[in-house]
């Protein structure tokens, strides 16, 4: 039995609440002003409201994601359908208990079981090191003995499979999304299509991305949310590698009204994340791009904590006191209150690429690995997951599936 909050006009809300109560659901009726209050959704599993920009926006979605509340928008016309599509949620077209419960049950399992820490790694254009950092952090957390999943949700330039030496012709994330669309993405299917990458005595579970950028329509927002929620139930921590682009209004370049959107996977991941790691390249161009783009990121996910990581720090690109200059610039122009630095360690990064391994495995004593481990320790200390930890992986034999095991390993 779930608790469903209903915020609809009385003429629509009354019969819907009666239907929901008749099938044994708990119902809470809220007014439009109430859903904006901080504690209004405490203990609620799902919120039914009109697909209307006066109620449904990015801020509400971010707050609902933070409180593990499923949003069920009711679209009474084409404008409501378009709004839901832009925000990456799936609307219902009729105010009936059957339609609402079908939407709530889109991901199997109880809503309250979504307790894992979901971390999205994002950065603007210019290859600041999103994928390298996502792989390294996920591998470091897996090394500690917890169940960690890494999802490649970059619909423009997916790179995780190549970075880890995995075969690209596998179902991966696209296969998971297809199964989620059929509502058949269960733990057995997840175990079948994921890759396991050995990290010392443990393993990192990987859902590789699409092998061709033209396949981006296979990663719609609703299925991405379903996959992330499901993987979060079966893992202790989930890392998501995203693309740079986060524009939501793509109708200006699409003839499909309410159709798929190129950036839907990244937007869904960022709005679902419990924490966002924003990667900034440590050079004047990279900082300029970051300052402009991070404003859009905060508008997309206003309630999500953002940890800024400045990558490839070197004095020859910034000048004297490079870290101090970068910190002051980001605090002033990007309102960054939490900034961490990764040194420019080209030899360690090159070794990781050459051997198709996470840098913590390829160069365990490097300055780059030391910096990654400091950031991973922060995620361990401040993670959002409050469920009791699972049994450690130590002693379990890890093996690489589907991907070719290279001789250097």
* Ranges of each domain in the chain: 3-105, 117-382
pLDDT on residue 66: 72
Residue 396 has pLDDT above 60, yes or no: no
Sheet-wide strand order for 202-207: 195-199, 202-207, 148-152, 237-241, 117-122, 275-281, 306-313, 339-343
pLDDT on residue 36: 78
Tens digit of pLDDT for each residue in 278-294?
Answer: 999 999 999 999 999 99
CA angle 300, 312, 400 (to 5 degrees): 80
pLDDT on residue 284: 95
Indicate if the alpha-carbon torsion angle 160, 268, 90, 114 is positive or negative: positive
Q: At the topology level of CATH, where does 3-105 sit?
A: Rossmann fold (3.40.50)
CB 185 within 8 A of CB 387: no
CA angle 54, 56, 58 (to 5 degrees): 115
Residue 249 has pLDDT above 70, yes or no: no
Tens digit of pLDDT for each residue in 89-132?
Answer: 788 899 998 888 887 765 443 333 334 689 999 999 999 999 99
Identify the band that residue 199 occupies on the pLDDT scale cut at 50, 70 and 90.
very high
pLDDT on residue 390: 42
Q: Which residue has the higher pLDDT, 368 or 211?
A: 368
Residue 336 has pLDDT above 60, yes or no: yes
Residue 164 has pLDDT above 50, yes or no: yes
Do the two domains 3-105 and 117-382 of this chain adopt the same fold?
Answer: yes
pLDDT on residue 389: 40
Rounded to two decimals, the pTM is 0.68
Q: For all residues of the chain together, what is the average pLDDT?
A: 85
Indicate if the alpha-carbon torsion angle 341, 347, 353, 356 is positive or negative: negative
d(CA 271, CA 59): 9
Residue 395 has pLDDT above 50, yes or no: no
Q: What is the CATH number of domain 117-382?
A: 3.40.50.300
């Amino acid at each position: 039995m779930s608790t469903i909050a209903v915020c609809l006009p009385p003429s629509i809300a009354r019969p819907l609440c009666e239907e929901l109560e008749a099938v044994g659901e708990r119902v809470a009726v809220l007014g439009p002003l109430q859903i904006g209050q901080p504690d209004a959704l405490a203990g609620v599993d799902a919120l039914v409201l009109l697909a209307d920009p006066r109620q449904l926006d990015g801020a509400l979605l971010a707050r609902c994601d933070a409180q593990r509340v499923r949003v069920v928008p009711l679209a009474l016309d084409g404008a409501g359908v378009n709004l839901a599509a832009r925000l990456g949620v799936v609307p219902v077209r009729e105010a009936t208990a059957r339609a609402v419960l079908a939407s709530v049950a889109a991901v199997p399992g109880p809503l309250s079981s979504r307790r894992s820490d979901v971390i999205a790694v994002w950065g603007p254009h210019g290859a600041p090191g999103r994928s390298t950092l996502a792989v390294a952090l996920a591998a470091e957390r897996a090394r500690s003995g917890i169940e960690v999943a890494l999802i490649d949700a970059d619909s423009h330039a997916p790179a995780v499979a190549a970075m880890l030496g995995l075969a690209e012709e596998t179902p991966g994330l696209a296969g998971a999304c297809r199964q989620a669309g059929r509502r058949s993405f269960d733990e057995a299917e997840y175990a079948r299509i994921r890759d396991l990458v050995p990290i010392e005595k443990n393993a990192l579970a990987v859902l590789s991305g699409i092998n061709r950028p033209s396949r981006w329509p296979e990663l719609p927002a609703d299925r991405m949310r379903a996959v992330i929620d499901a993987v979060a139930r079966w893992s202790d921590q989930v890392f998501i590698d995203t693309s740079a682009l986060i524009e939501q209004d793509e109708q200006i370049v699409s003839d499909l009204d309410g159709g798929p959107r190129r950036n839907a996977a990244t937007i869904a991941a960022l709005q679902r994340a419990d924490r966002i790691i924003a990667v900034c390249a440590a050079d004047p161009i990279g900082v300029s791009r970051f300052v402009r783009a991070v404003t859009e990121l905060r508008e997309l996910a206003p309630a999500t904590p953002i940890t800024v990581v400045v990558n490839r720090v070197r004095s020859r690109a910034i000048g004297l006191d490079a870290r101090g200059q970068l910190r002051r610039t980001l605090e002033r122009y990007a309102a960054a209150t939490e900034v961490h630095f990764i040194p420019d360690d080209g030899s360690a990064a090159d070794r990781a690429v050459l051997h198709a391994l996470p840098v913590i495995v390829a160069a365990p004593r490097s300055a780059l690995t030391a910096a990654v481990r400091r950031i991973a320790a922060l995620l361990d200390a401040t993670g959002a997951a409050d469920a009791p930890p699972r049994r450690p992986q130590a002693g379990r034999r890890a093996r690489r599936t589907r991907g070719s095991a290279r001789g250097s390993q």
